[in-house]
Copies of this chain bind each other. A is one copy, B any other.
Amino acid sequence: MIKRAYNFNAGPSAMPLEVLQEAQAEFLNYANTGMSIIEMSHRSPEYDTLHKETKDLLRELMEIPEDYEILFIQGGGSTQFLMTAANFFNKERAAYINTGVWSKKAMAEAKRYGEAYEAASSADRNHCYIPQEFTFKPETAYVHITSNNTIYGTEYPDFPKFDVPVICDMSSDILSRKVNVADFDLIYAGAQKNLGPAGVVIVIAKKAFLATANEDLPTMLKYSTFTENDSLYNTPPVFCIYMVNKTLHWIKRQGGVEVVAKNNAEKAQVIYDVIDNSNGFFIGHADKEYRSKMNITFNLADKDLEKDFVAKAKAAGFIGVGGHRLVGGCRASTYNAVPMEACQALAEFMKAYQAEHSK
């Protein structure tokens, strides 16, 4: 039996062991075809079944209303920064809520299309919270928000009601907790955190909103290319979608999103408790009410110890505990597939490390 790493990577990140085992078992022979899933035509009946089932499962698990499309698009969240703006920036302005690096990148991309402005920002306190006051200017086409901020470890506890269409980057917390899809006009999420391997983005969008899109765009930048061809205008990233399918089945077997959300809250709490009970040895970055259950960001009060902590953690088998290369510090990403056991082990490691270094 292989010892599994304690994988706290921020993305690509841990996948459920069962999902990996299933994929491994049938890697040479998908559905008794004598072919690997990656050798099969995307126009084959077998793939077609898988494609449809993946959408159906997602619709079921997230309770996606029938008037929403589900699309699979390549290019990562970064391509969605561009596509959302190119398609929907159809008034003078578009609003962005700046909760950190990714929302800023999304806004930067939108500036090509008009006045992309910050309706709110948490930059004043290094993005340790989610702003609750928003100022929208007239002629705002949409507001773009980032539901969970991987780098800073914050999340929207609840989603505010906005009076303009809402586009949400849900890359790092999709399916980690219950959301009311009807509150959003377009949701996008790269798969590589809670859903599968890097290489596919899931887009969930209201049909009425899609109908407002700019059609004067290159083929591959139009959402309509994907809606009109059921995401099969060109070859989709078959393996990624296949792994998303298996991950959705796994979530369903866990008991669905609510059970997974409960587990996630408990897992994160185990680590936040260590931080909160460390008498200031560990310092959480995010304000408590905005703490992410996916990305736990913290520092050591003694900055000089941080590198040592990360190195010792790695040596002890805890992978991905260094903070994002742009901000440093420490981070443990506890996505859906990270087991409680790994969180408990990290909590124990942190306590032992503190004990050793507080002598």
| A interface, CB within 8 angstroms of B | 2-5, 7, 9-15, 17, 20-21, 23-24, 27-29, 33-36, 38-43, 74-79, 81-82, 86, 108-109, 112, 190, 192, 196-200, 218-221, 233-240, 243, 317, 319-320, 325
Q: How far is the CA of A196 from the CA of B235 in the complex (A)?
A: 13
Q: Are B220 and A75 in contact (CB under 8 A)?
A: yes
Closest 4 CB pairs of A and B: A5-B34, A199-B237, A38-B197, A74-B74
Q: Are B3 and A39 in contact (CB under 8 A)?
A: no
A-B contact pairs, 24 of them (CB 8 A): A2-B28, A5-B33, A5-B34, A5-B35, A7-B35, A10-B41, A15-B39, A20-B28, A74-B75, A74-B79, A75-B220, A76-B220, A76-B235, A77-B234, A78-B220, A78-B234, A79-B220, A81-B219, A81-B220, A86-B218, A192-B235, A198-B235, A199-B199, A239-B239
User: In the complex, which residue of chain B has the Cβ closest to the Cβ of A9?
Assistant: B41
Q: Are A240 and B237 in contact (CB under 8 A)?
A: yes
Q: How far is the CA of A43 from the CA of B13 in the complex (A)?
A: 12
Give the shortest distance, in Å, between A246 (CB) and chain B (any CB).
12
Give the shortest distance, in Å, between A226 (CB) and chain B (any CB).
11
Give the shortest distance, in Å, between A32 (CB) and chain B (any CB).
9
Q: How far is the CA of A319 from the CA of B17 in the complex (A)?
A: 32
Give the shortest distance, in Å, between A213 (CB) and chain B (any CB).
16
Q: Are B20 and A36 in contact (CB under 8 A)?
A: yes
What are the residues of chain B within 8 A of A24 when measuring CB–CB?
24, 27-28
Give the shortest distance, in Å, between A261 (CB) and chain B (any CB).
22
What are the residues of chain B within 8 A of A199 when measuring CB–CB?
74, 199-200, 237-240
Evaluate whether A235 and B11 lie within 8 angstroms (CB atoms) in the complex, with A5-B33, A35-B319 already known: yes
What are the residues of chain B within 8 A of A20 when measuring CB–CB?
27-28, 36, 39
Give the shortest distance, in Å, between A296 (CB) and chain B (any CB).
17
* Selected contact of A43 from candidates B15, B28, B197, B325, CB within 8 Å: B325
Give the shortest distance, in Å, between A29 (CB) and chain B (any CB).
5
13 new A-B pairs (CB below 8 Å) besides A12-B235, A38-B243, A197-B239?
A5-B33, A9-B39, A12-B39, A12-B238, A20-B28, A34-B319, A74-B75, A76-B220, A79-B220, A86-B218, A197-B238, A199-B199, A199-B237
What are the residues of chain B within 8 A of A112 when measuring CB–CB?
218
What are the residues of chain B within 8 A of A14 when measuring CB–CB?
35, 39
Give the shortest distance, in Å, between A109 (CB) and chain B (any CB).
6
Q: Are B74 and A76 in contact (CB under 8 A)?
A: yes
Q: Are B12 and A40 in contact (CB under 8 A)?
A: yes
Give the shortest distance, in Å, between A13 (CB) and chain B (any CB).
6
Interface core residue of A200, A219, A325 (most chain B CB under 10 Å)? A219
Give the shortest distance, in Å, between A11 (CB) and chain B (any CB).
7
User: In the complex, which residue of chain B has the Cβ closest to the Cβ of A238?
Assistant: B198
* Selected contact of A4 from candidates B10, B34, B75, CB within 8 Å: B34
